[in-house]
Structure 1
Amino acid sequence: MPLSPADSRSDRNLLHQRGSAQTSTDEPSTTKETFMTAPTGATVRAHHRTSLVDRAREIAPVVAKYAADNDAHRVVADEAVQAMVDCGLTRALQPARYGGEEAHPVEFVEAVIEVAKSCTSTGWVLMLLGVHNWEVSHMTEQLQDELFGDDPTTLLSSSYAPHGTATPVEGGYILNGSWKSSSGVTHASWVILGASVEADGKPLMHNFVVPLAEGRIIDDWFVLGMRGTGSRSVELDQVFVPAHRALDRQILLAQAGPGLKKNDGPLYRVPQGYLYNLVAGAPALGAGWAFYEEYVDQLKKFTRRFDNAKLSEDRVELLRTNDVRVRLDDQQKVALRILDEGYRLAELGQVPGDLEAARGIYDAARTAEAALYVAQQLMPTMSARVVHELNPLSRLYRDLIVARQHFTQNTDFAAATAANLEMGNPAAATFLLSEAERTAAADRSKRLYG
């Protein structure tokens, strides 16, 4: 069942619900009322609680403390994850009725950026944990009860690429195979896995939610960067998944999921492509800012040995440093504006048009590219000492390279989709449906869920 107000474990969570005027006698710092400026420039009333961004900054010392260890051990430290759970960051996009925040997605992304400034991998894991709770809010109430009814702090990892198979059987599906790169899987108790299933006479991608206790985690995350994400593989051997734990992805994109009957706030009407295209982008922004700040700090202390020149006084260095700062700042504003516009339309009961959505997805897909640009421009100007693993710039550079490789940051694919729509050409898209697909998905949802 959904979280009960009488549940002692929910007391703190209920104080953090959106719009709550309650105050806490033991935690006064979480109930102050503030005002903030939205990306659109409008002044809006903040929640009656400490903002997610402030909470992210409060736990920054804990996150930063384990950044190097995360990279070395190839997994985020338990202490860092627990800090994010304890302060509510992992529940930011979770329904209030299940002990979540139902926060504005812009605020959540800003919090992810702050965490990623201290450790890219930790920010990456936080972003994924948050969007997974957003996603399952579109699924059946029975599943949400299983996940959050007894423990609102439940964490889910994912691996969406169809590396394994799903076979329909009576009452559900049999999943079999191995799924790659499930970030944060060692901290989760459930995992979302992707596989193709025939629906309406054609193969359609589905997402399946599976208890990790029924699978096996394979330690195979040996990579260039983002090492601390612990993105290991998940292996299942003929595991039965009941039908209520599965969702057709087109039903999700069509905003026709059964969970929206009760989770009817604007947060859950924000286009998936706007939010998911920042899965890699938001942590990359944090890493980009961290690289910039660390670079400036090192630059101030750096003197070239062969001519004793101070690089911090070199005109080319100064111009280059200012250029990357402006580009990074501009891209962050663009990304947050896209999310804010999606939320504003959702509040009005509207959705962006196809071309507008495709352009928004493309603009979001450029985020990791902009962040990597910072490192690409600044890294070569320093001495060879920056390539040593003990130098934070080395780790951040590697993290940015890997973040840029995520499928959500494929600017070529996103650009082609937007351009084809503008020209009236057929367009393949990861997060967009044709009108016919939307109608068919809504019809399937009605048949399945009433």
Structure 2
Amino acid sequence: MSASPDTSDTSDTSDTSDKQAAILDKIRALGPTLRERALDAEREGRHSDETIADLDATGTFAIGSPAEFGGDELTVRQQLDVVSEVSKWDGSAGWIVWVGASTNWIPAGSGARVVKEVYAPEWVGPRVAASSHFPASRGRARRTGGGWIVSGGPWTFGSDSLWAPYTNLGCIADDGEGPYLVGVQVPRDELKFLDDWQVAGMRATGSVSSTLAQDELFVPEHRVVDFRDVTGRTLDNGLEGSLWKAPTLGWSFSLMAGMSIGIAQGVLERFLERSAGRPIRGTTYKNQLEAPLTHLMLAEVHSKIQSATAMTRANAEETDRLGALAAAGTSADGEYMQKFSARVLLETAYAAKWCAEAIELLQRNSGSTAIMESEPIQRAWRDARVITLHGALNLEALSENYGRLMAGSQPHKFAGITTLDRFAPPPVPERRS
């Protein structure tokens, strides 16, 4: 087994730290408004265009956009703090920002023409949306003169598609040598959005399904890319920064864990705010914050959130470091990348679990009024649990895969954007006697 590469920090963040600080200040100023609007957004099943514009004005939708097109191109570690801060005030808003930042690698992996189409025009809101990039995709794509014909659908879980200029749809293609996944960049006005986002949590994300506006759609050649080329970064995108060389799973899932952390931090702050002077029924305590049972609970909550935070920050920093190494032409080897990617997935699932558990402790100690629809704690409780149910965060499956790697075996082979096969080291040739 090869040794992991040196873990010293090689990234230079001085040119983006001031941008990050300004964005965080604006989010904190907007935060109370996000929380105030959250109930109406839940009832509508989506955030208002006003909220999207207000988030855009803070700079949150530019944190992972290319510098060549006016984006801030923050490091993954810096993006993590932004996602957490938004999530602290409203989990659904944090989800929208997470998707808008962490899926920039999809258009960036689709070639320079797609990059220009997505990022060059003026736009208010997230630039990026993606839907149904899984083997069960109902979308189909077949080659035709000068491009592709796309059909099928619907495409499910289209987070950000209500506001993004393009949505990248997963489709199955087959040129006669077996099916494979392609990513299809489709303009917003060629899609029809379904009113099917009736869910237990993250209600305001508007992660609706979509269909084509017509039965079939002609898509130019450059907008349909074999997803193996996207994940393998085989196409020139014309972008200079090391962010575009950073591991995509490290980028996406470090930021995903940031959502859980931010939501939990927000609930902790809300609990401390509403518990001052509140009596505990069944005891003689007149102030919940003076009770030893509260102190013990808070210590457990702190430990769960802090553990999730420490792991996630380390993964974000390592993602940035590996991006810088790759940009310098000294990429880590496949064995290390495979294990790192498996680790990020596993630790994101644990971060989501621990933060959800911390929130449940806080809610359980908040009294019956914490179930009121107007109370942010109950909304955060539901939102945090939805993160743990994301299709990519099957804790038991991720645990087995990482345990296999620890024991010297290969993980399960499966199709999709979280497959670990693409990092697998080449097989060792058999020795002949």
Q: TM-score, normalised by structure 2?
A: 0.84
- Three-state SS of the structure 1 residue aligned to 2:149 is strand
Task: Report the equivalent of 2:150.
Answer: 175
Task: Report the equivalent of 1:19.
Answer: none
User: Does 1:164 pair with 2:148?
Assistant: no
Task: Report the equivalent of 1:413.
Answer: 397
- Three-state SS of the structure 1 residue aligned to 2:103 is helix
Mapped to 2, the partners of 1:387 and 1:40 lie a distance apart of 45
- Three-state SS of the structure 2 residue aligned to 1:108 is helix
Deviations 1:192-241 (A, max 9, x none): 11122237933222221111211210111111111111111101221222
User: Does 1:273 pair with 2:255?
Assistant: no
User: Does 1:191 pair with 2:167?
Assistant: yes
User: Does 1:332 pair with 2:309?
Assistant: yes
Name which of structure 1's ranges 54-63 and 367-376 shifts more when overlaid on structure 2: 54-63
Amino acid at match of 1:211: P
Q: 1:129 aligns with which of 91, 100, 111?
A: 100
Deviations 1:225-279 (A, max 9, x none): 11111111101221222221122222222232332xx213210111111122245
- Three-state SS of the structure 2 residue aligned to 1:193 is strand
Question: Residues 44-443 of structure 1: matches in 2 within 5 Å?
Answer: 45-47=14-16, 49-51=18-20, 52-151=23-122, 153=124, 155-160=127-132, 161=134, 162-170=136-144, 171-176=146-151, 177-198=153-174, 201-236=177-212, 237-259=215-237, 262-278=238-254, 280-310=256-286, 311-349=288-326, 350-351=331-332, 352-428=336-412, 430-434=418-422
Name which of structure 1's ranges 100-109 and 52-61 shifts more when overlaid on structure 2: 52-61
Mapped to 1, the partners of 2:58 and 2:365 lie a distance apart of 39
Amino acid at match of 1:380: R
- Would you say the 8 A contact 1:94–1:134 is kept in 2? no
- Would you say the 8 A contact 2:86–2:93 is kept in 1? yes
- Would you say the 8 A contact 2:202–2:382 is kept in 1? yes
- Three-state SS of the structure 1 residue aligned to 2:16 is coil
Deviations 1:67-88 (A, max 9, x none): 2221222111222211222232
State the identity %: 22
Name which of structure 1's ranges 195-204 and 395-404 shifts more when overlaid on structure 2: 195-204
Distance 1:301 1:263, change over 3 A: same
Alpha-carbon distance, 1:46 to partner: 4.8
- Would you say the 8 A contact 1:124–1:279 is kept in 2? no
* Structure with greater contact order relative to length (CA < 8 Å, sep ≥ 6): 2
Task: Report the equivalent of 2:431.
Answer: none
Amino acid at match of 1:210: V
Alpha-carbon distance, 1:173 to partner: 2.7
Name which of structure 1's ranges 322-331 and 166-175 shifts more when overlaid on structure 2: 166-175
Deviations 1:138-184 (A, max 9, x none): 21211222222232656232213443222312133322220112123
- Three-state SS of the structure 1 residue aligned to 2:285 is coil
Amino acid at match of 1:130: A
Deviations 1:384-443 (A, max 9, x none): 22222122211111111111111232222222221112223332362423467999xxxx
Alpha-carbon distance, 1:134 to partner: 3.4
- Three-state SS of the structure 1 residue aligned to 2:201 is coil
Deviations 1:346-379 (A, max 9, x none): 2122234322332233222322112101122232
- Would you say the 8 A contact 2:46–2:206 is kept in 1? yes
- Three-state SS of the structure 1 residue aligned to 2:211 is strand
Amino acid at match of 1:221: W
Mapped to 1, the partners of 2:203 and 2:96 lie a distance apart of 11
- Three-state SS of the structure 1 residue aligned to 2:141 is strand
Mapped to 1, the partners of 2:44 and 2:13 lie a distance apart of 42
- Three-state SS of the structure 2 residue aligned to 1:366 is helix
Amino acid at match of 1:334: M
Alpha-carbon distance, 1:306 to partner: 4.4
Name which of structure 1's ranges 216-225 and 137-146 shifts more when overlaid on structure 2: 137-146
Mapped to 1, the partners of 2:12 and 2:71 lie a distance apart of 24
Distance 1:432 1:383, change over 3 A: same
- Would you say the 8 A contact 1:53–1:108 is kept in 2? no
Mapped to 1, the partners of 2:38 and 2:314 lie a distance apart of 30
Mapped to 1, the partners of 2:10 and 2:356 lie a distance apart of 27
- Three-state SS of the structure 1 residue aligned to 2:209 is strand
Mapped to 2, the partners of 1:43 and 1:100 lie a distance apart of 17
Q: How much is the aligned-residue C-alpha RMSD, in angstroms?
A: 2.7
- Would you say the 8 A contact 1:104–1:267 is kept in 2? yes
Distance 1:95 1:437, change over 3 A: farther
Amino acid at match of 2:42: D
Amino acid at match of 2:299: N
Question: Structure 1 regions of 5+ residues with no counterpart?
Answer: 1-38, 440-450
Alpha-carbon distance, 1:335 to partner: 0.8
Q: TM-score, normalised by structure 1?
A: 0.81
Mapped to 2, the partners of 1:436 and 1:373 lie a distance apart of 34
